[in-house]
Structure 1
Amino acid sequence: MGLDYWTSPEVQEAHPSFVVAPLANPEAAPTWVRNWRPSPDPRPEQREPLELAVELIRDNLPRYLPIDADRLYVTGYSMGAFGAWIAISRHPSLFAAAVPISGGGDPTHVAETQAAVWAFHGAADAVVPASRSREMVQALEAAGKPVRYTQLPGDGHFIWRSALQTQGLTDWLFEQHRPSAGDRP
């Protein structure tokens, strides 16, 4: 979900980019991570889908494609939004921005991120309560981090299309860059 938006001719013409869309295998690994620890389990035989995706984006794709390492973005919807929150928490200086939609995470670790965040949630979400996004946003605000939050009144869980069509979101995302090397932790 959302892949059709980011790869659409309109978005690609305005913002040429590489789009990587990993999916967690529900039979092998039904979630992006096994727990909320800030660092992954280093044992290769138990690698989590999230860490494999990060390794692909950080270490492998730049070998073959002209990837701008200062403009890596992570987005996700529902369980993918949990993955986005975890990615910016575990890898605080890797991503320039994140757009989590209808998800949540562990607010005790997200404040370390250097990523700008624009989070979305439906106010009437019965699958993942909107409070899960608000907790994350509040943790970022308390740490003085750049964060935007859009709560869609009356909408439930399935808001990814509405969120992606929010005026200014696409341009905002592609304007984001990681802090300069001297500013990184």
Structure 2
Amino acid sequence: ILQHYGVGVVAISKGAEIALAMAAFLPQVKATVCINGPNIVTGFPLTYGDVYIPGIPYETERILVSETGAIQLLYNFADPRRPEHEASLLPLEKAKGPILLIIGEDDRSYDSKTYAKEAKARSDRFGKKDVRVLSFPKAGHLLEPPGSPLCQVSHSPILPLPVMWGGELKAHCAAQEICWRETQDFLRLHIVGPSTQSKL
């Protein structure tokens, strides 16, 4: 079954970075949905077989602390558009299947809008035309399945202070409804196929 259909990958945040790397280097990945993630390797390098991609460095001096003591990581990484970070870009043009990039424009954790714009531009430049961007104004970082409450700030097990995620209630919740539907439709189309009948 796996050989016939392939694998669909859905991931958010740092997981979306890993998902894009899987899409680029694993031919079994036939469709990828990345929610508010970078198009670059961040922090630590990525290694896979003979592949080595350096991570762009953290710039901890650029972390912003709010009046409530929560931190905003939006500017935590060096600008991936700088020439010296070109080696850290994920080669999305190698992906065997389509990619859907979902963005909350009020993301306070990653500069997701810039990452998606750059990912799409690179893909177009290399002739990969099946990268789509779905963007939601006033939606935050944690775009989760419908019914999940908006989480604007929460604790992180690896950071000393709470982290800001962003998002405005109505816009964020509406985005979650649309994202869930779009993700399911995308995977049905590219993994299962429109003509396949369920045997359940």
TM-score in terms of structure 1 length: 0.53
User: Secondary structure at the residue paired with 2:5?
Assistant: coil
Contact 1:71 1:176 in 2 (8 A): no
> How many angstroms does 1:89 deviate by?
1.7
Segments of 4+ in structure 1 off by > 4 A?
A: none
Identity of aligned residues (%): 19
Q: How does 1:125-136 map to 2 (within 5 A)?
A: 125-130=107-112, 131-136=114-119
Corresponding residue number in structure 1 for 2:38: 104
Higher normalized contact order (CA 8 Å, seq sep 6+, divided by chain length): 2
- Which residue matches 1:32? none
Partner SS state of residue 144, structure 1: coil
1:112 to 1:67, Cα distance in 2 relative to 1, 3 A: closer
Q: Which has the higher strand share?
A: 2
The answer to whether 1:144 aligns with 2:127 is: yes
- Please tell me whether Structure 1 or Structure 2 has the larger radius of gyration of its CA atoms: 2
Q: In 2, Cα distance between the equivalents of 1:70 and 1:123? A: 33
Alpha-carbon distance, 1:68 to partner: 4.6
What is the identity, as a one-letter code, of the residue corresponding to 1:150? Answer: L
Residue equivalent to 1:158: 142
Gaps of 5+ in 1: 1-65, 179-185
Q: Once the 2 structures are TM-superposed, how far is the Cα of residue 84 of structure 1 from its aligned partner?
A: 0.6
Deviation at 1:169, TM superposition (A): 3.1
- Does 1:172 pair with 2:156? no
Distance in 2 between the 1:132 and 1:139 partners? 11
How far is 1:177 from its partner? Answer: 4.7
- In structure 2, relative to structure 1, the CA distance for the partners of 1:117 and 1:163 (3 Å cut) is farther
User: CA–CA distance in 1 between the matches of 2:37 and 2:189?
Assistant: 23
Q: Give the total of aligned pairs.
A: 112
Higher helix share: 1
Question: Structure 2, unaligned stretches of length 5 or more?
Answer: 41-88, 146-174, 193-200
After superposition, where does 1:23-62 map in structure 2 within 5 Å? none
Q: SS of the counterpart of 1:155?
A: coil
> Which whole-Å CA distance do the structure 2 matches of 1:165 and 1:68 have between them?
30
Decide whether aligned partners of structure 1 residues 163 and 149 sit closer, same or farther in structure 2, where only a CA change above 3 A counts. farther
CA RMSD between the two structures: 2.3
1:54 corresponds to which residue? none
Q: Counterpart of 1:160 in 2: which secondary structure?
A: coil
